[in-house]
Chain A
């Protein structure tokens, strides 16, 4: 029975692993993990906000089902979280360190888990070291007689970029460190965007720091440079935990899963932070490794995956039946090359139940309740989402197909009571 290690970061953009091709960042720990397992590049968080996404990851249900449609809410009491389910049904000891955020950001009291260590809200630069050291100590101090572990190492960085944005809101006269001028990453290709957007998306951008701070190109690029340093910080903490698994002789007996709760704007569509339905906020890295048992050094660019897949995957590796009504699939058969069928679409929810995204292999459809502007992007020919096709009559059948898929998906959900926008067209 393998041990299971789930590593979570917060607000990590998909394109932040150096071994996956980003030349402006160095992530040796994530690089080594990629070499030992599979990296999924078509992986989507369930919701582009911390609490709702984490509630979905740890329940296997959508935000509209858990009731956690915004930060500060608890998962519905009749839905068991992953720790509770594992504690009741698996042989594993369920251990947690770091950020929880359902509802408390950090707490010693997480149902189903023994908590090693909390952290510090808004300060991953300080609290993440306590998380990694606590995990390191736990792994080093185990004995061979101990039950297998299900350990969650939940880091806050690179979410600290939110503090950076508030501290560096206003455009300075010059670059604070002039020697960085030739080291700053370029602006993303989709910095300029199609302005035919839902009202919420446009309004969200205007409320953000670059708009208030009158940013120029240099400040944008300095922000991207700074974000990459935050990712490097958490990569080092991840490295400590992975080294502890390896050094304590448990790597060959441990399945490692890595993902993030949502992404980060990083200048795409001139966005910062999250809480929108573009790729920068939704697409996250997802890696699974079980050296000696699963294929290594694989990059899967084909299969659509979602954070909702984490719960059934962990149950599968723990050899237990998952609870009913999970909305994701176990990745284990896919990783073993034995999946006969897979997701033909994934859905993300957002903005206090107001927004929906449907992603199929070729297209991506975005809609907000009570907003006349929807979006359709051809992800094969326009992966940067720069041309909204939804108003083009040629694409009307494709828009309708995605709306039908969304309605079909929604019809199976057991939504929590008293949700806003509960009567949106897709319900």
Chain B
């Protein structure tokens, strides 16, 4: 039977190391330039609240930044492994401004599902395009349009933006969050907190989310993000980390398919 000692405190890099869920971060290359071209891949690790068990790698988030003159392109790939190996996949191409919160001006996003048998669930395909015009955001989902209003940025965009912010207290950066480039959550603020265990920290509070905390090294590379029970941890092997959960889920599915409960 799994041990059940509560974690007790909010998730930080030091706590994750204490729980043996984080061995360390990959070294930041000397030529890492937050305003240049880079790829960061994060394992998405979720905490069930116990020290000994229930803390799993549920997916990965891969971000690639490519400068394009006065803007930059942010390529996003995210994979989440749901129970019985039901995969939820996102791919997005986002054109962003070099503003403090990396404001997106136009994007495409595809949402895909894959079943535990490896078969793409094409009947659940969603394709979106979006663009901003001042405060107006227009989104087309499978050809159906909707609009919303706000000075927006996306959660994925903020993973890029924090790397370009100065490590000093300033007035909070205010924005409306377009989460997943889809769901508007207004009235957010991003602030610099200072050093925490040798890493620079920003935090974000706003409507509709649990606070986000961002940890960066002296080279301004984003090493870890925590929001509630969910963490993003920089890891060059992130894409392979979900293999155990996937195989376990497929096995469970196959077992149930033979003998449903």
Contact = CB atoms under 8 A, between A and B. Distances in A.
Contacts of A133: 88, 111, 113, 124, 126
Interface stretch (A115-123, A275-283, A354-362): A115-123
Contacts of A177: 203, 205, 211
Contacts of A108: 84, 86, 115-116, 253, 256
A125 B228 contact: yes
B58 A107 contact: no
B111 A137 contact: yes
Given A126-B46, A137-B126, A248-B144, A167 B7 contact: yes
Interface in A177-213: 177, 179-180, 209, 212-213
A315 B141 CA distance: 33
B207 A168 contact: no
Nearest to B226: A167
Given A107-B83, A134-B113, A123 B58 contact: yes
B111 A163 contact: no
Interface in A90-144: 103-109, 111, 116-123, 125-127, 129-130, 133-134, 136-138, 140-141
B204 to A, nearest CB: 10
Contact of B58 (A109, A120, A140, A229): A120
A154 to B, nearest CB: 13
Contacts of A111: 260
A136 B116 CA distance: 20
Contacts of B38: none
What 8 pairs between A and B have smallest CB-CB spacing?
A: A166-B49, A106-B83, A137-B124, A130-B88, A163-B229, A232-B208, A118-B83, A166-B6
Interface of A: 26, 74, 103-109, 111, 116-123, 125-127, 129-130, 133-134, 136-138, 140-141, 160, 162-170, 172, 176-177, 179-180, 209, 212-213, 226, 229-230, 232-233, 235-237, 239-240, 243, 247-248
A167 B6 CA distance: 7
Given A127-B82, A129-B180, A167 B209 contact: no
B11 A141 contact: no
14 contacts: A105-B83, A107-B83, A107-B84, A119-B82, A130-B82, A130-B86, A133-B126, A164-B210, A166-B6, A166-B48, A167-B7, A167-B49, A168-B9, A232-B208
A168 B82 CA distance: 25
A117 B82 contact: yes
Contacts of A209: 6
A326 to B, nearest CB: 24
Interface residues of B, number: 55
Given A130-B88, A137-B124, A163-B48, A122 B54 contact: yes
Contact of A141 (B48, B59, B123): B123
Interface in B209-251: 209-211, 227-230
A115 to B, nearest CB: 9
Contacts of B10: 167-168, 176
B261 A104 contact: yes
B208 A229 contact: yes
B39 interface: no
A104 B260 CA distance: 11
A125 B54 CA distance: 16
A233 B209 CA distance: 6
Contacts of B228: 125, 160, 163-164, 167
B228 to A, nearest CB: 6
A140 B126 contact: yes
B165 interface: no
B86 A118 contact: yes
Contacts of A136: 126, 141
B37 interface: no
A50 to B, nearest CB: 15
A172 B12 CA distance: 14
Nearest to B230: A125
A240 B183 contact: yes
Nearest to A232: B208
Given A129-B88, A130-B113, 8 more contacts: A108-B86, A109-B256, A116-B121, A119-B82, A127-B80, A129-B180, A163-B49, A166-B8
Nearest to B144: A247
Nearest to B81: A120
A170 B8 contact: yes
A26 B256 contact: no
Contacts of B167: none
A123 B229 contact: yes
Contacts of B142: 137, 140-141
Interface string B85-126: 010100000000000000000000001010110000101111
A119 B230 CA distance: 15
A126 B44 contact: yes
Contacts of B121: 116
A172 B15 CA distance: 15
Nearest to B116: A108
A123 B185 CA distance: 20
Interface string B45-60: 0111110001000110
Contacts of B257: 109
Contacts of B58: 120, 123, 126
Nearest to B257: A109
Contact of B183 (A118, A170, A229, A239): A239
Contacts of B126: 133, 136-137, 140
Contact of B182 (A179, A230, A240, A247): A240
A123 B46 contact: yes
Interface in B61-83: 80, 82-83
B146 A243 contact: yes
B179 interface: yes
A14 B88 CA distance: 31
A26 B82 contact: no
Given A105-B83, A133-B111, A213-B8, A26 B209 contact: no
B261 A74 contact: yes
Contacts of B229: 122-123, 125, 160, 163-164, 167
